[in-house]
Each structure stands twice: as structure tokens, then as C-alpha cells.
Amino acid sequence: MTELMSSGIELMFAGMGIVFLFLTMLVFVINMMSGLILRYFPEEPALSMSVPVAVNSSSDTSYIAAITAAVHQYRSTH
Amino acid sequence: MTELMSSGIELMFAGMGIVFLFLTMLVFVINMMSGLILRYFPEEPALSMSVPVAVNSSSDTSYIAAITAAVHQYRSTH
Amino acid sequence: MTELMSSGIELMFAGMGIVFLFLTMLVFVINMMSGLILRYFPEEPALSMSVPVAVNSSSDTSYIAAITAAVHQYRSTH
Amino acid sequence: MENLISLWQSTGIYNFTAGQAFMMLIGFLLLFLAIKKGFEPLLLLPIGFGAILSNIPVAGISEEGGILYFLYYGIKLGIFPLLIFMGVGAMTDFGPMLANPKTLLLGAAAQVGIFASLIGALALNVIPGLEFTLKDAAAIGIIGGADGPTAIYVASKLAPDLLGAIAVAAYSYMALVPLIQPPIMRALTTEAERKIEMQQLRHVSKTEKIIFPLTLLLLSILLLPSATPLVGMFAFGNLMNACGVVERLSQTAQNELINIVTIFLGLAVGSKLSAEAFLQFKTLGILALGAIAFAIGTASGVMMAKLMNRFSDTPINPLIGAAGVSAVPMAARVANKIGLESNPHNFLLMHAMGPNVAGVIGSAVAAGVLLSLIK
Amino acid sequence: MENLISLWQSTGIYNFTAGQAFMMLIGFLLLFLAIKKGFEPLLLLPIGFGAILSNIPVAGISEEGGILYFLYYGIKLGIFPLLIFMGVGAMTDFGPMLANPKTLLLGAAAQVGIFASLIGALALNVIPGLEFTLKDAAAIGIIGGADGPTAIYVASKLAPDLLGAIAVAAYSYMALVPLIQPPIMRALTTEAERKIEMQQLRHVSKTEKIIFPLTLLLLSILLLPSATPLVGMFAFGNLMNACGVVERLSQTAQNELINIVTIFLGLAVGSKLSAEAFLQFKTLGILALGAIAFAIGTASGVMMAKLMNRFSDTPINPLIGAAGVSAVPMAARVANKIGLESNPHNFLLMHAMGPNVAGVIGSAVAAGVLLSLIK
Amino acid sequence: MENLISLWQSTGIYNFTAGQAFMMLIGFLLLFLAIKKGFEPLLLLPIGFGAILSNIPVAGISEEGGILYFLYYGIKLGIFPLLIFMGVGAMTDFGPMLANPKTLLLGAAAQVGIFASLIGALALNVIPGLEFTLKDAAAIGIIGGADGPTAIYVASKLAPDLLGAIAVAAYSYMALVPLIQPPIMRALTTEAERKIEMQQLRHVSKTEKIIFPLTLLLLSILLLPSATPLVGMFAFGNLMNACGVVERLSQTAQNELINIVTIFLGLAVGSKLSAEAFLQFKTLGILALGAIAFAIGTASGVMMAKLMNRFSDTPINPLIGAAGVSAVPMAARVANKIGLESNPHNFLLMHAMGPNVAGVIGSAVAAGVLLSLIK
Ligand code: NA
Ligand code: NA
Ligand code: NA
């Protein structure tokens, strides 16, 4: 067997090993994460989890919303 | 007081001076501009000010509109 | 007449010649193409020609569709 | 105090040159034409603004380190005009042309405008102070193609110094098509000719629309490879739209992508409107030749239609020949409008779309010839 | 076996430095603030993620060959902040400001925050270990402008090493405006002042809105060309929107284009949050000075409004002065909210939008001064 | 006359080489497959068109100065595949996988296809005339990942010369998944196994979906930093979508931005389909190995599912193991379809989405291993 082939086979074992190691650890971590979340941060009914973005969102995006709202109010007074 | 600090203070006075000078001039220029526009180019009622873009607009943009219209007409004759 | 002018005139004749040659050939080729298509690949009535894209479309684009569909199904079971 | 002097010496008032002030006025004029007169606003507004920005003293917005300097690379490398051409391809419907392919000849005839103004540019060399090279003349001639991206692509390759003037002339005259063309069209046609009604166009199948851009590209590959960057990107856009299986790419090509590139291209073209490049006797020549090119192109298209009427049994309204200059879709609308004046029941719009899009192909072919023969 | 050792030696665990780990925590903190607290998520989420990516050992994502290295060119060349500013310009309605132009002076007053923190930075040099140059101090001061793109543009020109900290401080304090401003506003105003109702704003015509960005640009050209890259791109965006004839370009500028650039800019800013640059005593100084800048800017705006009330016959509610710092539209909303507490029928939002957008102009002018005077 | 000869000598007919003509046919074949057969049209249409454009004689569209030459920089620098991966991340819903995390192991097993074809490539070296280096073999193996952006990213780093063939193989086989997989799936499973119904998936909370991409990134940072450019951009896109506070960025990432980059990437990949690079014996090897990789990946996924069934008390339908190759969402649909044939009430789609997206992670991890161990 050539040296190239042996490094290929070594690579295969290392590679599949790491892929399995990685994804197996991911399984454990996900289970842990889900457990912690479901226990300590259970999803409240309805939409309560949604961050009140509209209130303190970015200066860039909420421009439109703000200005639209403002213009409406402004126009409605004219 | 260090030289650095004195140039900082100089910068502050120059800076705020220019900011105020600039925005004060802008106030005057806007007042002048608005006066001239309201006097010589009063906004006509309704939508009369809108340029008749649809008629002589760009070759690039109005493609869609034109072709859509044309295709409609063309299809309706088939 | 300067040399420049004579090469300009030569360019004009070559240019218009090629433009006409090209577009004339295009007329013939289109006629041929349309003839072949209308004869051998006549458009079937209704929408039958439309490739069944939705079935074997790309992995990238149909993500949304697939996931939307899947999520719907998934949600409807909960 | 030193600061104040240094500030005063860095103001625009202190540093203005007459040329910069004048070019800025040109920029404001372009904005006025774009906004108030509706002259091709999508291009002339960014171009006008770019002209103003690039002529600001001290700021160096179009010099190395400035944003317009970097945006100009998109033109220099030929990327922006080709991407716009791709988007235009995606917007173009070849149906009317495929239903009546001989209208392609009208699109061919109208290219006379290109070569006539090329000769005109060379002829102007007799005037002392004017010195147009063959490359300059070709770049000026392409204004007659009445196609923005093609003109910008060719000018960026052959005569980058004239790019600003050429782009401004091209888009201005496209906007002026409704003024330039009608008198010529009326002068060259009789009332009877303008009344000619044309046969209804046949239905064109989807397969034909898919095969056409490939056919066009293939012909261009075989005969004129130098035109294939333009024709190829155009055909690519058209195929994306016609084939129906990459709808999201086609939509992006004809909306967001073309819009982004239009903003960048406009600003970058404007950055070539510098006093040194624009405030020359040459520029007047370019403007004059551009008008001549449009006029000759219109006339050739109309005359070609009249000629074809002699030999064809299906009648052609000569007005649609004028649409061969491209300036899509304005020229087609003009033909429709003049036709309606003579015959209120005669809708020529779809018939004129054939030569109109043929004119786009015609100028891309002409561009290929110029790029290939002029070294 | 060799492979395994080589793999182990290439893991993150093996290669982590304490600094990288700490910076990654900062990145996660920014994500937490963005997602859970709603702190300017559009910017802080990409910045936070960029910080994490660029501090990964071995991977070299922000080193030559990595994607963040290339994206950073968009900031280094000044392109990204200017494109964002163009989009912000397209989103901005100058109507309220044009209806009541003297609110511009509130936008001017609030810029005191910039220069006060500049002086503050220089003063901090007395602390051993801190050494801010004039350029550093100016870049820090601009945090007080409360305008992301302006701050990033100036910092990238004057103090690229501090860019990460400055951008984070600028966006964080913008998000904190609802916490920072109210106590200052309440402390400096009486209940009676907060109850002041303002005259209804007049209607502003479309022509005024079209002419304004050009006027602004012209003034900037004449007086302060160094501010024209910022003011010019802002005015360009605003004109595209106001003129109404290039709707598709305006829409793209304020949607897809600004979104794309925001993603890239955020990641690229994050790539400047490296341990060497951020984990310095300097950073604490920057954070402290940024807070001071916002506070002083707020106070100056309010005081200016009180001063103007002395000389003006039309009443000004001093609360709207606080909106002069910009942080559009949050500061205007804060003014509205505090006003409603004192007078439930007093809607200040539109009145506060005037100084709010004036603050954007004010900081761009201040940026121009800094870029022009500091060599 | 000279002009005419010069023109003739500049035609495509005069300059065509057999190789160019053949590659152009390949390009047309790809267009046919994309348009008429619906083979991954979003990628194969631009790739096919790019192949045609880059093989046009004289025009030099993929040589220095041509548009495809410049577009290719986006791949060379690794930017385009990562941006597409970001968009794919934003489109991906990890809900089904989080509801049943052990399906991740199916995504791991399917990566055997990658390494088996890597070994296969090295084994082919015994054939005279074939000479694959370890880098070549790794780049070929990644076809088995069944993920376009990952394959292009790895190939551009390890074997840019093979990029064209690898990308074409990867997308073609992804399109062929409905043909390649079913026979293998049927051969390896019993009718009883195919009838297995799986437990309903639990609801996954929004918080879990937000935390997951960060968890994934963190694990990748700790264990395999070389995978973090891919995993990181994917996780970034996913987080933008999951967090819900940057909706406009997420929408742009999964629509306009990914569309623009797809057009550019497709054309640029096509530009690597030159006669010299593609018309080699190697290419046949690549195509054969790619098919083997898909087949082995499918088989490994199914066998892994059967193995897990032995040790697990909750039943797993082995068909969903085939979805572990990724090829999202086609492979999941195939699993669903085959399942319905045996049990018309058994909808496996959501269950198959778990291994399907796990396969994306699996190949990114495998890519990281290859990039880290092969120097
Ligand atoms: Na034309
Ligand atoms: Na400000
Ligand atoms: Na995979």
C-alpha cells in the first residue's frame, strides 16, 4: 500500500471519528440545553416571549415605522 | 496645560463655532428657500405637481410597465 | 481624404455589413427555429409545458417551500 | 486663529475653480432635467449627483480614497454595464420580435446612426482644436445605439476620458426621443403610409422564447465573439426570465441587483464629469454628433421600412422603423402615438416592440464590430 | 496517532488565549443585549457575531484570507458607512424640521457632547497608562454624535484601532437613550416647562423637500467640503426619496442595499473587537467618555431649548432639545414619552423629529470639522 | 479587404478549438438539464451559461479583463460560498432536529460517503494516467457531502483546478437524489422496516432555536476551529432568522443577497469549466466517485438507522437515514415518498428533516477535518 493510501485511510478514520465525536457531543449538548431551557425558561403561552422590539429597536430600522407613525399623526392634524 | 489640551480646546471652540455657524446659516437659507418656494412655486391642490413620469420615464425602468401593458393588449387580441 | 477618414469609412461599410449580415442571418435562423419548434414541439394547451419544478427543484430554493409545508403539517398535528 | 485661517483655507469658497463651479451647474442641470422634466431620471439623477460630488473642491470624493473612485472600478472593469445589461435582458420580452422576425432588419438599419456619427466625428477633425481619434469617434458613434449600458461599456473600453459626456448625451437623447423622432417620422412618411394597419402578431410559444437567447448567443459566438460579453450577459438575463425555472434569480436581476448597480453606475459615471474632461470644445462636438446619430438612425429605420414594404406582401407601417434605434420602450411608444394621430384605431405598440428590441441587438453587434476592429 | 496529536493541537481548546475567550464573552454579551434586551439588534447582533468569529483561535477568520478580513475593506475604504448613510438619508423625512427650522439650533447645541468628550479624552491622559492622541480623542468624541455611520466613518479615518470599541459604545448608548436621557431631562426642566404645548407644524410642500437636500449639500460644499462625503451621500439618499421619480432606487437604497451593507458592516466592525485592541484600559475610558458625551449632549440640547424660549415668541418645549443628539428616532420618542407624563394631551413626537434629524446634520458637520482640522 | 480578413480571423468559426466546442456542448447540456429536467436549476443554469461564456474563443470572458475573471475572485477568496451558506442557514429550521437530537447520528453516518470516495480517488491512482493528490482526493470526496456551498468552499481551497467538475458533479447528483437513493433504500430495508411509524415530534421552543446555533458554533470553536468559517456563517444566518429581532436582515440574507451571490457564483463556477481543466480522464473519475459517494452515504445513513433501532426504544424508520446525506430538502422528500409507498398514512417528511439538516452540519464538520489535516 502506498504511503498516500495509508494517509488517506488514516484520514478516513480520523475524519469519521471526529464527525461522530462531534455530532454525538452535539446530541448530548442539545439534550442538556433543551432540558435547561424547558426547565428554567419555559415558553410562556401566547406570544409573551417576543422581545418588545418595537419599543427600543434600532435607530436605523425603526425610522420607517416612527416616521410613518409620526407623519400619520401630523397629517391627521392638518 | 499641555499643548495637546490647548489644541483640544481650540478645536472645541472652532468646532462648536462652525456647527452653530453652519446650522444657523441653514436656518436662514431654509427660511429663504421656503419663502421663495411658497411664493413662486405654490403647491397646487391635489396631485398636480407630480411630474408625468409615466410618459417620458427611463428606458430601463419603464420596460416592465410598457411590456406588461403591451403584452396585455397583445394577449387580449388573441 | 485623410487616412483616418478612409479607415473610418471602411469601418462603416464593414460595420453596417456585419450588422445586416448578422441580423439577416438571425431572421433566417429564427424562422427555422420557430418552424422546427412549432412542428416538433408544439405548445400543448393549458400549462402542460411547465416543468414540474416544484418536484425536483434545487436544494437551496425549495427550502422555504419544503420547510413551510413541513412546518404546516407538523403544526397541524400539535 | 491659525485654526480659523486653516479652516477658511479649507472652505469650498476659498478653493473653488471656475471649472468646478461650472461642472456643478451641469450637475444641477441634470438633476433638474431628471426630476422636473422626467429625463431618464434613473440614470441622470445619480449621474448629476455624481457630477456635483466629484467637483467639490478639497473633498476629493472621486480621487483615490474617495467613494466615487472605488465605485468607478465597476465601470473600468466592465462589470456594472454588463450587470445592467443582464437585468435589461431579463426585462425584455422577445415575443413580438419572434412573431415577426423581419422587423430585425429595421433594428439593423437604425444602426446607420452609429456609423454616420463616427464618420461625422472624424470629419469634425478639420475644425482646428478638435482632434478625435478613431477610438474617440467610435465611442461617440455608439451614442447612436440609443442603449445606455452598451454606450457606457464601449466608451469605457475605447475612450474612458469621454465617458461622462457620452453617457450624458446618450441618456439625454434617449429622454428626448419623443421630441427628436416625430418630425423626422412625419417628414419621411405620407399620411397613407402612417395609416397602414399591420397584421395581428401570432402567438409565440414558451419554447421559442427559451431557445431564442441561446440562438442569438450562438450566432454571436460563431460570427462575432467580440460582441459576446454584451450579447452573452443580455442573453443570460433573458434566458433566466424566459425559462421560468429560476424565477427568483430573474426577479433579483431585474429588480434589486439592477437597482443597486444603477445607483453605483450613475454615481461613477458622474465622477467622470470633471472640468478638465468635460469643459472642452470636444464636448460640444459630442453633443451635436449624438443628436445627428439619433436623427439619422430614426431616418434609416423609417426608410428601411418603406423599402421593405416594396418587396413584402404583408404591409409594414414605416413608423415602426423609427423604433429600431432602441431607446426601449420610448421609441416604440412614439411610433404608437404618431400612428394613432393618423388612424385612431391603429395600435402599433406591439408591432414597434419588435424593431425596438431588435435595435438593442443591433447596437450590441455594432459594438462588437467596433471593439473588434479598432485596436 | 500523529494525526490525533495534530488534531488536538488544532482544537480551539488547545489554542485558546485568555484574551480571545474574554472577547468571545463580550461577543455573546452583545448578542444577549441585541436579542434579549433589544439593544440596536440590527447592528449589535452582527457586531457581536463578528466579535466571536474573529476571536476563534487557529481559524483566522479576520486575518488575511478570511472573510471578515475582506469585508473590512468596505469600512477601511469608507464605502460601507457612506452607503448606510445614503440609505438613512432615503429613510429620513425632513418635513418636521423644514416646518420649524429653528429647531436646527437644538441639533447644533447637542453636539457639545462631541467636543466635551474630546476634551475629556485628552484630560484622561493625566491617568498613567492612558495615552489618547488628538485623533483618538476626536474619534471617541464622535460617539457623542449618536449616529452609527458617522461614528464608524470618522473612527475608520482617525483611529481604526479604536473602531470596535467606539462602534460598540455608540450603538450601546443609542440603545440606552431611554435610560440615559430621562433623568437629565427631568432634572433640567420644571414641570411647567415640560407641559408646554407647541404650535401645530405647517404643511411642507414637496418642492421644499426636494430643494432641501440640495441646499444642505450646497452649504456644506461652500463652508465645509470635508463634511461632503457624509453630507453628500446622505443628501443623495434623501433626494432620491423626496423627488419621487426614482422610487425603485430609493426603495432599494433603504431596504435591500442597506440590509446587505448592514450585515457586512456589522461583521466587519466585530472583526475589530480583538483582544489586543479591546482589552485595554483605554476601552474603559472610551465607554465612560461615551456615556458622558450622551449626557452632555442631552443637557446642552435641553438648555439650548430653554435659552431659545427666552428669545422666541413661539413656545418650545425644552424636552425636544434632548432629541438634538440624534439617535433617530429613539430620542424623539423619549421626548414624546416624558412630555406625555406631564401632559397626557401633548404629543411632542413630530416636534422632536425636527431637532432629531437636525442632530444627524449637526454630527456630520462636526465630523467634517474633525476630519478637516486634525491632521 | 484587410478589414474583412481581419474580421474573418476574429470570428468564432475561425478560432474554435475542438475542446472549446465540446465544453460549450457541456454547457448546453447543463442548461438542458436545468431547464427541461429541473436539475437544480438555480445553480446549474448559471454554471452552464458560465461554461458557454468562458469557452468562447477570442472573447476572453474568463481571462483577465473579462467579467467572469473578476467574479471568480468571490470564490477564490471564499466569500461567495460562505455568503450562500449564511443564507442557507437563515432558511434552515432546526426544529425537527432539536425535537429528536439523536437523528444527528444519521447525519454523521452519511458522511462515510465523503471518506469512502476520498479513498476511492486514491485507489484510482493505480490506473495509469490518473494522478490524484491527497488534496484532490479530499476535494472529490466532499461531493459526498451533498452540499453545494461546502463542496465549492473546500474545492476552492484544496483543488481549484477541479472546482468546475466537482461543483457540476455535486449539483447534478443532488438533482439525481430521487433516482440514486430509492433503489439503495429499498435494497437495504424490509417492507416492515419501511412501514415503521415514528413518534410525533415535540414542540421546540423559540429559545431552543436561538440557543442552538450558538451551541453549535461553540462546539465547533472548541473542537474544530477549521470548520468555523463554514459553521460560523451558517450559524450566523440561522441565528438571524431564529432570534426574530433582525427580520429585515434575515429576509435579505435568504432572498436578495443569496440570489445575487448565486448568480455570481454560478457564472464563476462555470468559468472553471475550461477544456484544459475538464476534458481530462480525471473528470470521469470525479463523476464516478461522486456517484459512489452519494450511494455509500445513503447506505451508511440507512444502516446507521437500522443499528440505532437495535438499541433505541423509540422506533426509527430507517428510510430517514438516507436523508442524512443532506441534499436538503430533496433527500427528506425522497424518504417521505418511499415511506408513503409502504404505508400511505406515514408522513416521514418532518422526521427526515432532522437527519437532513444534521447532514449539513456533518459535512461542514468533515470539511473542517479535511481543511485542518491536509496541508
Ligand atoms: Na440600438
Ligand atoms: Na447627532
Ligand atoms: Na451533508
Q: What is the pLDDT of residues E69-119, one digit of tens each?
A: 999 999 999 999 999 999 999 999 999 999 999 999 999 999 999 999 999
Q: Do E349 and A57 touch (CB under 8 A)?
A: no
Three cell numbers, residue E253: 437604497
Task: Quote the cell numbers at residue E121.
Answer: 479624552
F19-48 pLDDT, tens per residue?
A: 999 999 999 999 999 999 999 999 999 999
Answer whether D191's CB lies under 8 Å from D325's CB: no
Q: Which residues of D90-126 are buried (b: 16+ CB within 10 A; e: fewer)?
A: bbbbbbbbbbbbbbbbbbbbbbbbbbbbbbbbbbbbe
E22-73 pLDDT tens trace: 999 999 999 999 999 999 999 999 999 999 999 999 999 999 999 999 999 9
Binding-site residues on chain B for chain D (CB distance < 8 A): 10-11, 14, 18, 51-53, 55-64, 66-67, 69-71, 73-74, 77-78
Backbone angles phi, psi at D317, to 5 degrees: -75, 120
With a cut of 50, which residues of chain A have pLDDT below it? 46-71, 73-75, 77-78
The residue with cell 480571545 is E20
**pLDDT value at residue D277:** 82
Give me the half-sphere count of Cα atoms (radius 13 Å) on the Cβ side of residue E317. Answer: 32
d(CA D99, CA B42): 50
CA distance C54 to C63: 11
By the 8 A CB rule, do D164 and D278 touch?
yes
Q: In chain F, what residues touch D245 (CB-CB under 8 Å)? A: 34-35, 38, 41, 45
Quick one: pLDDT at residue D171? 92
pLDDT at E129 over 60: yes
**pLDDT of amino acid F27:** 96
Q: Which chains are within 8 Å of C by 3+ CB pairs? A: D, F
Tell me which H or E stretch contains E279.
Answer: none
Q: Is B63 strand, coil or helix?
A: helix
Average pLDDT, chain B: 70
pLDDT of residue B70: 46
pLDDT at C62 over 50: no
Residue F369 CA to ligand 3 center (angstroms) comes to 14
Which of A46-60, C30-44, D74-88, F147-161 has the lowest average pLDDT? A46-60
Host H or E run for residue F219: helix F206-223
| Selection from D355, D312, D370 nearest residue D109 by Cα | D355
Choose among C51, C66, C73: nearest Cβ to F347.
C73
**Which residues in chain F show pLDDT less than 50?**
none
pLDDT value of position F313: 83
**F254 phi-psi bin (left φ>0, alpha ψ -120 to 50, beta other):** alpha
For residue E1, which amino acid is it? M
Grade residue B44 by pLDDT with cuts at 50, 70 and 90.
low
Chain F nearest-CA distance from E169, in A, is 20
Distance F151 CA to ligand 3 centre (A): 10
Give the three cell numbers for residue D254. Answer: 431585474
The rounded mean pLDDT for chain D is 93
DSSP 8-state class, residue F195: T
pLDDT of B57: 35
Which cell is D275 given? 472640468
Share of residues in chain F with pLDDT > 90 (%)? 86
What is the helix (H) or strand (E) element at residue B25, kind and residue range? helix B3-40
CA-atom Rg of chain E in angstroms: 22
CA distances from F312 to A26, F102, F304, F355, F366 (A): 18, 10, 12, 16, 26
Amino acid D357: pLDDT = 95
Q: F291 is written with which cell numbers?
A: 456517484
Put simply, whether F42 touches D (Cβ < 8 Å) is yes
Mutate to test the interface with F, among C41, C67, C72, C76 (most CBs of F within 10 A): C67
Q: Tell me if residue E38 falls in helix, strand or coil.
A: coil
Q: How many CB atoms lie within 10 A of CB E227?
A: 29
C-alpha cell belonging to residue F271:
468559468
Q: For D78-90, what is the mean pLDDT?
A: 96
pLDDT in the model for residue B45: 54
The pLDDT tens digits for D7-46 are 788 888 999 999 999 999 999 999 999 999 999 999 999 9
What whole-number distance in Å separates Cα of residue D236 and Cα of residue F254? 23
* Per-residue pLDDT reduced to its tens digit, D357-366: 999 999 999 9
Whether B18 sits inside 8 A of E114 (CB atoms) is no
Q: What pLDDT does residue C44 have?
A: 63
Q: For the segment D199-214, what is each residue's pLDDT rounded down to a tens digit? A: 889 999 999 999 999 9
- E251 three-class SS: helix
- End-to-end Cα, chain E, rounded Å: 57
Note residues around ion ligand 2 (Cβ under 5 angstroms): E 145-147, 326, 359, 363
Cis peptide upstream of residue F101 (ω within 30 degrees of 0): no
- In tens, the pLDDT along D253-277 reads 999 999 999 999 999 999 999 888 8
Return the number of other C-beta atoms located less than 10 Å from residue F252's C-beta: 25
Look at residue C45 in the predicted model and tell me its pLDDT: 54
pLDDT band for position C2 (cuts 50, 70, 90): confident
The pLDDT score that the predictor gives to residue C59 is 41
Chain E residue closest to A12 (CA)?
E3
The distance of Cα E82 from the centroid of its chain, to the nearest Å, equals 13
- Return the residue in B7, B18, B62 with the most chain E beta carbons within 10 A, the one to mutate for interface testing: B18
Instruction: Determine the Cα–Cα distance for residues D50 and C56; give it in Å rounded to an integer.
Output: 47
- Taking CA atoms, D235 is separated from D86, D239, D352, D367, in Å, by 7, 6, 21, 16
Q: Which residue has the cell 437613550?
A: E177
Interface test with chain D among E158, E245, E372, by most D beta carbons within 10 Å: E245
Residue E140 has pLDDT above 50, yes or no: yes
- pLDDT number for residue F336: 95
- At residue C76, the pLDDT reads 52
Q: What are phi and psi of A29, to 5 degrees?
A: -60, -40
User: Ligand 3 center to residue F165 CA distance, Å?
Assistant: 18
**Spatial separation of the C-alpha atoms in residues F260 and D86, rounded to whole Å:** 12
Q: What is the rounded distance in angstroms from the CA atom of residue D233 to the CA atom of residue D360?
A: 13
Percentage of residues in chain D having pLDDT higher than 70? 99
The 3-class secondary structure across chain F, one letter per residue, is CHHHHHHHHCCHHHHCCHHHHHHHHHHHHHHHHHHCCCCCHHHHHHHHHHHHHHCCCCCCCCCCCCHHHHHHHHHHCCHHHHHHHHHHHHHCCCHHHHHCHHHHHHHHHCCHHHHHHHHHHHHHHHCCCCCCCHHHHHHHHHHHHCCHHHHHHHHHHHCHHHHHHHHHHHHHHHHHHHHHHHHHHHHHCCHHHHCCCCCCCCCCCHHHHHHHHHHHHHHHHHHCHHHHHHHHHHHHHHHHHHHCCCHHHHHHHHCHHHHHHHHHHHHHHHCCCCHHHHCCHHHHHHHHHHHHHHHHHHHHHHHHHHHHHHHCCCCCCHHHHHHHHCCCCHHHHHHHHHHHHHCCCCCCHHHHHHHHHHHHHHHHHHHHHHHHHCC
Question: Residue E98: its pLDDT value, please?
Answer: 96
Phi, psi of F172 (to 5 degrees): -65, -45
Within chain A, what is the greatest distance between any pair of CA atoms? 88
Number of residues that make up chain A = 78
- pLDDT tens across F253-262, in order? 999 999 999 9
Residues of A in Cβ contact (< 8 Å) with E201:
74
Q: Mutate which of E1, E2, E3, E258 to disrupt the A interface (most A C-beta within 10 Å)?
A: E3
Cell digits for E368? 467634517
Q: Which amino acid is at E81?
A: P
Where are the strands (E) in D272-332, listed by range?
none
User: Cα of F361 to ligand 3 centre, how many Å?
Assistant: 7
Task: For residue D162, give the DSSP letter.
Answer: G
pLDDT of residue E206: 94
What is the predicted ipTM?
A: 0.90
Q: Which residue of B has its CA nearest to E104?
A: B23
Q: What is the pLDDT of residue D97?
A: 95
CB atoms within 10 A of CB A42: 11
pLDDT of residue B2: 81
d(CA F198, CA F99): 12
Contact A5 F373 (CB under 8 A): no
- Nearest-Cα distance to chain D for E219, in Å, is 9
Q: Are D104 and D96 in contact (CB under 8 A)?
A: no
Best CA proximity match to D274, nearest among D49, D12, D45, D20: D20
* Chain A: partners with 3+ C-beta pairs within 8 Å: E, F
Q: What is the pLDDT of residue A68?
A: 47
Distance (Å, rounded) from C-alpha D341 to C-alpha A31? Answer: 77
Q: Which long-range contacts (CB under 8 A, 24 or more apart) does E310-318 make?
A: E312/E102, E314/E198, E314/E199, E315/E196, E315/E197, E315/E198, E315/E199, E316/E103, E316/E196, E316/E198, E317/E193, E317/E194, E317/E196, E317/E197, E317/E198, E317/E346, E317/E348, E317/E351, E318/E185, E318/E188, E318/E189, E318/E193, E318/E194, E318/E196
Residue F222, burial from CB neighbour count under 10 angstroms (0-12, 13-18, 19+) = middle
CB contact (8 A) between residue B12 and residue E118: yes
